[in-house]
Structure 1
Amino acid sequence: MKLLSPRLHGYVDYAVVVLLAFAPLALRFGPVPTAVSSVAALTHLVLTLLSDQPLGATRKIPFPVHGALESFLGVGLVASPWLFGFSAEGPARIFSVITGLALLLVVLATRYTAGILSRPEPYDRYDR
C-alpha cells in the first residue's frame, strides 16, 4: 500500500528542497558538496514546480515521470560523494547518502497513479 498522496508528496518535495538548500550552511560543507547539494536543490525545485501534482505550478511533467526523475536524483545523491570526490568529508557524505536514500523511500511510498485512471485532466489547486 502506498502511503503518500500526491498532495502530501508535494509537501515532502518542498521540504527536501529546503533541506538540500540549507544543510550545507548548517553543516559547514566544503565547496564541492555545497555545489552538489545546491544543484540538487535547484533541480528538485524545478522538477516539483513543473510536475502535474496538486502543489505543482505549471503541471507540464506527468506525475509518474516526476517519480522516475526523482528516483534518478535519489540515486545521484547516494553516489555523489564518490562521483565528485568528497567521500572523505564525513558529514557531507553521510548527509548525501541519507538524503538520497530518504528520497528513494519517498518515491517508493508515493501513489503516482492517484487520479490518473479516474480522470484525464490534471490536478487543480484543490486536488479535485
Structure 2
Amino acid sequence: MKILNTSIHGILDYATVIAFASAPSLLGFSGAPAMLAYLLAVVHLAMTVLTDMPLGLVKIIPMRLHALVEMLVGPTLIAAAFLAPSLVLGAQVFFIASGVAICAVWLFSDYASATQSD
C-alpha cells in the first residue's frame, strides 16, 4: 500500500537530513559514527534537493533512482549497525532506527506520483 505521495516523501527526506545532522549532538556519539551521520545528512540533502519531486529544487535525479538508493541505504544502515560492535549503544540504536525508517518510507512511498521527465 503506497500511502506516501512524493510531497510527503520530500518532507520526510528533509526531516531525515535534520535527524542525521543532529543525532551526534542529541545522542552523544562522536568519532567515526558522528562523521557517518554528518556524511549521510549531506548525501541525503543532496539527493533530496536534486530529485525530480515536488520539494526537489534542481530536479535532475529521477525518482526511480532516488527510490533505488533508499532501497539500498535502509538495509545497509541496519546491517552496518550490527556489523560494527564497537559502536556506542546510542549510535547503534540510531543507525538501526534510521535504517528501519528509511525502509518503511521506501515501502510506503508512491514514487510513481512524481512528475518525471523520462
Q: TM-score, normalised by structure 2?
A: 0.90
- The two structures, once aligned, show a CA RMSD in angstroms of 1.8
**Mapping of residues 1-128 of structure 1, within 5 Å:** 1-82=1-82, 85=84, 87-114=86-113, 121=117
Flag the structure with higher helix content: 2
**How far is the alpha carbon of 1:74 from its aligned partner?**
1.4
Q: Which runs of 5+ in 2 are unaligned?
A: none
> Identity, % of aligned pairs?
34
Q: 1:3 to 1:35 in 2, by over 3 A?
A: same
Query: Partner amino acid for 1:56?
Result: G
**How far is the alpha carbon of 1:82 from its aligned partner?**
4.6
**How far is the alpha carbon of 1:64 from its aligned partner?**
1.6
Q: Which runs of 5+ in 1 are unaligned?
A: 123-128
**How far is the alpha carbon of 1:73 from its aligned partner?**
1.8
Cα distance in 2 for residues equivalent to 1:87 and 1:109: 32
Query: Partner amino acid for 1:34?
Result: A
Query: Partner amino acid for 1:78?
Result: I
Query: Partner amino acid for 1:101?
Result: V
Structure 2 contact 17–41 (Cα < 8 Å) conserved: yes
Q: 1:87 to 1:101 in 2, by over 3 A?
A: farther
Q: CA offsets, 1:62-94, max 9 Å, x none?
A: 1121111112221222123355x3544111101
Q: 1:10 to 1:75 in 2, by over 3 A?
A: same
Q: How many residues align?
A: 118
